Amino acid sequence: MNLAAQPLHLHPDRLLPAEASQRDIARRLYAQVAALPIISPHGHTDPSWFAGNAPFANATELLLVPDHYVFRMLYSQGVDLDRLGIPRADGSRAAVDPRSAWRVFAEHFHLFRGTPSSMWLNHVFHEVFGLRVRLDATTADYYYDRITAALETPAYRPRALFERFGIEVIATTESPLDPLEHHAAIRDSGWTGRVITAYRPDAVIDPEHEQFRDALHQFGELTGENVFGWEGYLRAHRQRRAFFASRGATSTDHGHPSAATANLSDDEARKLFSLVVAGRADAAQAELFRAQMLTEMAKMSLDDGLVMQLHPGCFRNHNQALFARYGRDKGADIPVRTEYVRALKPLLDRCGNDPRFQLILFTLDESNYARELAPLAGHYPSLLLGPAWWFHDAPEGMWRFREQTLSSGGFYNTVGFNDDTRAFLSIPARHDVARRVDCAFLAKLVAEHRMDEDEAMEVATDLAYRLPKQAYRL
């Protein structure tokens, strides 16, 4: 390693307010929640890691290739994805040495200054791998070697990390077509880590999804239902939801382009579905079908108790050329303006006052926090607000979430933190950031005499631990 490299700090007061009176309060609040178990009710880790418990390959494969937060920033500054070894849509991959990809990343690490990626990665480097110099061009090889070597040791196997991270429960996300074999294997293995699934049916619900036709056929084969008829299709969903629940699922997840819901008559719904399965639904009918299916999912939740999550408002695969070459989830998804008040009314008129129903709303359009979402959640008993999400899960975004939802929604119509990540090693870092930001926010309220410290203590614990368990029925 380069002895002239800058030291890597992880200051115990990071993200706490600089002003002394608030910092002292924030420290006391944080001290109480820092070590609480991690509740991770929504994310995208791979259950095969925990089923197979095989070692991760190397620094690049673990930390760079799967993290589209990271390589989108590199791409934005002219770094070709092939230089990073990002897999292409056709399954091929540029012949790039993982070490040389890592060097490219290290040379550009200054681009992440001030971003959440830099905080999360530095946390991983410092806490998980014990590194004490900053990553840059001069330390790239040192990093690569240290990390890759560590990954070969038992302490860095997935289950060991899961336990070291203090994860009480983690939810993965699977398609209805997934056999959930890894979840079964985990359960059967005798390992006590709680890894549950969540029901994410977009591919069999969205007529515009590129895999919809194939997915629908598989859905039929898997369930033995006639999924090309409306009743059979709904029965297939019920059957798979029950199967998912038997593998631990307590929630469903829906990633729609908008928050539109509908409440058609059975007859209208049946006709619409027949257009959909015939491949004759136009864009408006596809949207209406997705809208109707949200209400169908809500109705099923009344019976099976699965908590519903709605993540709307993303323009997927915005970069045509990049999508053609590299496929989905390559950092080219862009948030769009989203409307909730009119969009959700059909579903809420049907299920919104039912005590059995719980819908957790997310947004990528922060202009809705104070205007639409907090007022909705501060009224409807079935609505809760998911945390600042994806492009908004930086400290500033989390702070805006609290500042803009507190007045009408309070703390108790929110559900604590979601890490929503594929980057397994960053999970403790992400939860730590969320806890620090919430404690900093609460410390300001205490320092400005809007809340007593004992109340803030209770709220901090609720946000870090109790509310996510309660909201997700864990």
Show the tokens assigned to 102.
């890592």
Residues 39-78 that bind a second copy (CB under 8 A): 72-73, 75-78
CB contact at 8 A, 304 and 235: no
Site size for a second copy (CB under 8 A): 95
Percent helix / strand / coil, the chain, rounded to 5 = 55, 5, 40
Show the tokens assigned to 462.
């609720």
The answer to whether 261 contacts a second copy (rule: CB under 8 A) is no
Residues 355-374 that bind a second copy (CB under 8 A): 355, 364-367, 370-372, 374
Query: Minimum CB separation from a second copy for residue 47, in Å?
Result: 29
The answer to whether 378 contacts a second copy (rule: CB under 8 A) is yes
- Which is nearer to a second copy, 24 or 304 (by Cβ)? 24
The answer to whether 85 contacts a second copy (rule: CB under 8 A) is no
Residues 132-151 that bind a second copy (CB under 8 A): 134
The answer to whether 410 contacts a second copy (rule: CB under 8 A) is yes
Residues 210-249 that bind a second copy (CB under 8 A): none
Residues 287-316 that bind a second copy (CB under 8 A): 315
The answer to whether 377 contacts a second copy (rule: CB under 8 A) is yes
Query: Minimum CB separation from a second copy for residue 400, in Å?
Result: 8
- What sign does the dihedral 410-414-417-422 (CA atoms) show? negative
Query: 3-state class of 7 per DSSP?
Result: strand
Bridge partner residues of 40 (DSSP): 170
Query: Minimum CB separation from a second copy for residue 372, in Å?
Result: 6
Could you give the dihedral angle defined by the CA atoms of residues 162, 163, 168 and 170, in that order, rounded to the nearest 10 degrees? 10
Show the tokens assigned to 449.
């005499």
- Which is nearer to a second copy, 51 or 140 (by Cβ)? 140
The answer to whether 327 contacts a second copy (rule: CB under 8 A) is no
CB atoms within 10 A of CB 164: 13
The answer to whether 464 contacts a second copy (rule: CB under 8 A) is no
195/158 Cα distance (integer angstroms): 12
The answer to whether 342 contacts a second copy (rule: CB under 8 A) is yes
- Which is nearer to a second copy, 1 or 184 (by Cβ)? 1
- Which is nearer to a second copy, 236 or 376 (by Cβ)? 376
90/25 Cα distance (integer angstroms): 54
- Per CB under 8 A, the list member of 459, 460, 463, 464 interacting with a second copy is 459
351 phi, psi to nearest 5 deg = -130, -5
- What sign does the dihedral 421-427-433-437 (CA atoms) show? positive
84/78 Cα distance (integer angstroms): 12
- Per CB under 8 A, the list member of 89, 114, 152, 155 interacting with a second copy is 114
Query: Minimum CB separation from a second copy for residue 347, in Å?
Result: 12
